[in-house]
Amino acid sequence: MDRVKEESRKLIIRNRLRDPYSFEDILGIKDIIIERIKEIDFSRVTFIEPYSMLSLLLLGRIFLRSRGEKLRIINIPVNIHQYLARMDFLKTGMYDIPERLNERLFLKRSAFSSRVIEITEIPNKEVESIKVISEIIELFRKRARHILKYWMSDVIIDLFVTVISELCQNIFEHSLDSGFLAIQTYSLGRENILRVVISDSGIGIEKSFDERSDIKYDSSAKLIEMVLTTPISSKRKFGYGLCQVNAIVEKLKGTIFIRSGNASVTGLYHKKTKGSAYMFLKNNLSYFEGTQISITLSG
C-alpha cells in the first residue's frame, strides 16, 4: 500500500480490487483509513469485481459511522466509474465522489442488465427483508439464462435460488445489521466467471455463537469451517443454512469464500480430488466487521 500523504491525508491504493485475496491488502490498513484518511485515490485501479466492490462499500459505511463524515474517492478511471455507476454503487451514498460521470458515458442498462443483479440492500428486519429477497429471486429467475449462460440448467437455477435465499436470510437472522447482495457474470481472459456476493458489517459469525456454550472450537476459522460442514446454528439446535449452501457449491464444483471478523475459510471444490485438501483456513487477519461471502463458478 502506498505512502499516505500527510498534507492531504490521501491514500493512493494499488490495483487490489480483483478478488477477495488481494483485497486483504486494503483491509490490512483499515484502521489507518478510518483514523487518518480523508480521501482515497483510484487512479491505479484497473479492475474491480463484486466481492471487492461490496467490501469497499462496507468500508465506507464503517468510516461514515466512525467519523460522522464520508470518505472521498477521487481520480476514478472512466471504466471503473462506469462499472460502479452501473452496479448502483454510487446510489448507496456511502462515499463522497466529487467527480461526476458524464451522462453520455453511462453504460446502457439494456446492454448489460442480463448478466448482473445490481447492488441490493438486504434489511435487518424480517418482514422487509423477506420482501426484498422475494424481489431478488424473481429478478434472478428472469435473468438466469444470461447469468448462468455457461452453466445453464433448471436444476442449477433452483440451486442458486436456495443459495441466495439462505444467505440473505442469515442477515436478518444473525448479523443485527443490514447487508448487501450483488451478482455478476463476466469474462476474465479466457475464463467465464459467475460471482455471487452477500456481505454485511454486523456482529460476525463468532459473536453470533456467544450463547451457544455447547459449541466448542479452537479458532475463529475453525468455527466458520464447522458452520460450513455441519448442521449447526447460532439460533437453534440444528441449522442447515450455510451447511446447505456449502453442499450446493461443492455439488457445482465451485468456490466459496467466507470472511468474518479476523478469520476466513476458502473451499476450492473445483480443484478437489480424492484425498486432496480443499478447505483452507486463515486466522489472525485484520479485523473487519461482519461477514462477507463470495461464491464463484468458473469455466
Given this chain, do its domains 10-105 and 112-299 carry the same CATH topology? Answer: no
Place of cell 453442499: 247
Average pLDDT of the residues in 65-85: 96
Predicted confidence (pLDDT) at residue 74 exceeds the cutoff of 80: yes
Please, what is the angle between helix 126-147 and helix 154-170, to 10°?
150
pLDDT band for position 239 (50/70/90)? very low
State residue 219 phi and psi, 5-degree precision: -160, 160
Distance of CA 74 to the CA centre of its chain: 23
pLDDT tens digit string along 206-216? 998 887 878 88
How is residue 267 written as a grid cell?
A: 473451499
Q: What is the dihedral of CA 239, 243, 244, 248, to 10 degrees?
A: 180
Place of cell 463470495: 294
What pLDDT, on the 0 to 100 scale, is given for residue 189? Answer: 87
State residue 289 phi and psi, 5-degree precision: -60, 145
Average pLDDT of the residues in 79-94: 94
* CATH assignment, 112-299: 3.30.565.10
pLDDT tens digit string along 113-150? 689 999 999 998 889 999 999 999 999 999 999 999 99
Choose between 23 and 241: higher pLDDT.
23
pLDDT band for position 170 (50/70/90)? confident
What topology does CATH give the domain 10-105? Transcription Regulator spoIIAA (3.30.750)
Average pLDDT of the residues in 148-167: 93
Contact 242, 227 (CB under 8 A): yes
User: Among 297, 294, 295, which Cα is nearest to 252's?
Assistant: 297
Give me the DSSP letters along the chain: -PPPBTTTTEEE--S--SSTTTTHHHHTTHHHHHHH-SEEE-TT-----HHHHHHHHHHHHHHHHHHSSPEEEE---HHHHHHHHHTTTGGG--EE--SPPPGGGSPPHHHHGGGEEEEEEE-SSHHHHHHHHHHHHHHHHHHHHHHTTTT--HHHHHHHHHHHHHHHHHIIIIISS-EEEEEEEEEETTEEEEEEEEEE-SSHHHHHTTT-TT---SSHHHHHHHHHHS---SSSS---HHHHHHHHHHHTT-EEEEEEETEEEEEEGGG--TT---EEEE-SPPPEEEEEEEEEEE-
Spell out the domain ranges in the chain. Answer: 10-105, 112-299
What pLDDT, on the 0 to 100 scale, is given for residue 234? Answer: 55
Share of the chain above pLDDT 90, in %: 73
- What is the rounded distance in angstroms from the CA atom of residue 245 to the CA atom of residue 83? 28
Predicted confidence (pLDDT) at residue 238 exceeds the cutoff of 50: no
Average pLDDT along the chain: 90
Predicted confidence (pLDDT) at residue 231 exceeds the cutoff of 90: no
Average pLDDT of the residues in 243-255: 94
**CA count, 13 A, side-chain hemisphere, 30:** 21
Predicted confidence (pLDDT) at residue 111 exceeds the cutoff of 70: no
